[in-house]
């Protein structure tokens, strides 16, 4: 990785769109899907379809240097020029927000009746906590804001935010916090303030006393905030189908391939 790329990785990591996949068929339907890492890569495949039509598969993964363009106030990267609109946006970026003892984590056997000592397996730091909130909450928020204009040009636009059952309100002890997250009248500004409040409480070592969850608090709060953001954005743009979904405990790099 070049020094410039490393710089953007350090400064803009939470804004990584993680790649863009644009798929078009005969009716020019497109999907924008987040992948895991961002590198400059363009691949085009054309093949015959029924009735002589074509299937065009475009894989466009953004270089780190292009991220500021994507996150600017006006959509760019030639997307609108070449494709006209976007139909689907899937926000799938995610980090755990903790340092994990990988060997101890992999040694856990669900259903064996033994309760793991999570305090020995997971280590929390402010840096990882901040990264988690920026990746899991702020990242999808910024990407969505930037691509809304292109989605609004679609006749059937959809946004899917990949969330987690960890973000359920029952996992958050504080009643006031749950009320803010479930308030249909809360604005994005209020949600941002709540996230900043959590970061402040974490830095002051008052997470539990202030009503935040003790277990996986960065990840839990980030997903709860993402769920609330999904509801807010869906209300703001009723012409776009906007939902969040939990795929379950599937195998990913984040759980060291221990999922199902």
Active site residues: 219
SS3 222: helix
Distance (Å, whole) CA 187 – CA 257: 37
Backbone angles phi, psi at 57, to 5 degrees: -115, 110
SS3 193: helix
Residue 114: partners with Cβ closer than 8 Å, 6 or more residues away: none
Distance (Å, whole) CA 230 – CA 243: 6
**Spatial contact of 260 and 250, defined as CB atoms under 8 Å apart:** yes
Distance (Å, whole) CA 29 – CA 67: 24
**Spatial contact of 160 and 244, defined as CB atoms under 8 Å apart:** yes
> Could you count the other beta carbons within 10 Å of the beta carbon of residue 164?
23
Residue 134: partners with Cβ closer than 8 Å, 6 or more residues away: 13, 14, 15
- How far does the chain reach from its first CA to its final CA, in angstroms? 32
| C-alpha distances out from residue 43 to 20, 24, 142, Å | 12, 13, 26
């Amino acid at each position: 990785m070049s020094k410039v790329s490393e710089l953007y990785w350090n400064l803009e990591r939470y804004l990584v769109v993680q790649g863009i996949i644009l798929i078009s068929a005969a009716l020019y339907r497109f999907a924008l899907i987040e992948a895991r890492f961002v590198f400059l890569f363009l691949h085009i495949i054309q093949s015959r379809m029924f009735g002589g039509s074509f299937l065009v598969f475009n894989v466009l993964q953004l270089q780190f240097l292009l991220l500021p363009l994507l996150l600017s106030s006006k959509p760019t990267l030639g997307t609108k020029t070449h494709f006209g609109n976007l139909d689907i946006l899937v926000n799938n970026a995610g980090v755990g927000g903790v340092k994990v003892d990988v060997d101890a984590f992999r040694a856990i056997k669900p259903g064996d009746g033994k309760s793991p000592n999570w305090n020995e397996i997971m280590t929390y730091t402010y840096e990882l906590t901040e990264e988690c909130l920026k990746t899991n909450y702020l990242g999808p928020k910024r990407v969505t804001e930037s691509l809304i204009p292109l989605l609004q040009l679609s006749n059937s636009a959809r946004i899917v935010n990949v969330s987690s059952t960890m973000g359920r309100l029952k996992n958050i002890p504080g009643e006031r916090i749950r009320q803010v997250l479930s308030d249909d009248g809360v604005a994005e500004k209020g949600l941002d303030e709540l996230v900043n409040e959590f970061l402040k409480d974490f830095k002051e070592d008052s997470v539990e006393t202030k009503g935040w969850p003790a277990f996986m608090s960065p990840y839990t709060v980030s997903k709860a905030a993402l769920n609330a953001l999904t509801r807010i954005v869906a209300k703001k743009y009723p012409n776009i189908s906007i939902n969040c979904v939990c795929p379950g405990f599937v195998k990913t790099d984040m759980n060291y391939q221990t999922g199902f």
